[in-house]
Structures are given as C-alpha cells and as structure tokens.
Amino acid sequence: MKVILLEDVKALGKKGQVVEVSDGYAKNFILKKKLGLEATGANMNDLKLQKAREEKLAQQQLDNAKELAAVLETKSVVVQIKAGEGGRTFGSVSSKEIAAAYKEQCDMEIDKKKIQLTDPIKTFGTFEVPIRLHPQVTGKLTVKVQEA
C-alpha cells in the first residue's frame, strides 16, 4: 500500500514523502496513529498543492530577506560608548546594543541573534557588521562607534 507521510517516521521516511509499506503496517500503525494518509488521487493532488504553496512561501521569504538586506546596506547606526584616558574604551559594543540602536535610529527591529559579531567591538571607528536575515541572505550594516 502506498502512504503519504504526514510526519517523519524513523527508518521509513520524511514528512511529505510517498512510501510503499505493507497493508498491515499501514492500517495498524501509520493510519491508526495518523502518521500518514493513504495515497489516493485526491490526497496526492493535495500533497502537490501543499508543496507548491510551501515553495511559494519560501520564495517570498527569500525575496523579503533580499529586500531587507538592500535596505540595510544603505543605513548606518551610531553607537556611543564611554572613553577613558588615551582614547581607550570602557567596555564594548555587543549585538544587543547594536539591535537597540538600530531600533531607536531606524524604527525597525533586528533580532540580536541574527547579528553575527565574531568579537564585541572594543575600539572607535566604522565597522561592517554581518546580519544573517535568511539561510541564503546575509546583509551588512554599517556601525559607527563614537565617544560619548
């Protein structure tokens, strides 16, 4: 019997796959526990429509991320930190502070977890900070660190 899996089943397949299983296994386990549906014509058509919808949604998210990356390229954020003797900084600028400054200055939110700082910024100057907006899209935000 052919079955469309509604969830991942260990040693059988992933969600959305059509697999061939024995009649008893399908009736007594997969269908009974609602892990899958019988692969009828109507169910196969529903599966195709669902996959097309998911692909369209994924493409839309990718396009939105590319647009946001283009917007980020044009913006810059100014972050001020205290300085001591000789122009040395007290503390550093973290991704949390960059996200807060971006929200305050540009009226848009960026998740601090998406800001990819390898190390906190500990000097004054201008820095390009990568921001991961989508698994395939990384934008760059210009951060200017100034003395308060």
Phi-psi region of 56 (alpha: psi -120 to 50; beta: other; left: phi over 0): alpha
At 138 the pLDDT is 93
pLDDT in tens, 81-137: 888 777 778 888 999 999 999 999 988 899 999 999 988 888 889 999 999 999 999
The answer to whether residue 65 scores a pLDDT higher than 90 is: yes
- Whether the Cβ atoms of residue 147 and residue 80 lie closer than 8 Å to each other: yes
pLDDT at 96: 93
Question: How confident is the model at residue 62, as a pLDDT?
Answer: 95
Contact (Cβ atoms closer than 8 angstroms) between residue 114 and residue 133: yes
- R_g (Cα) of the chain, nearest Å: 25
At residue 147, the pLDDT reads 87
Instruction: Summarize pLDDT for 9-48 with one digit per residue, the tens.
Output: 998 999 999 999 999 999 999 999 999 999 999 999 999 9
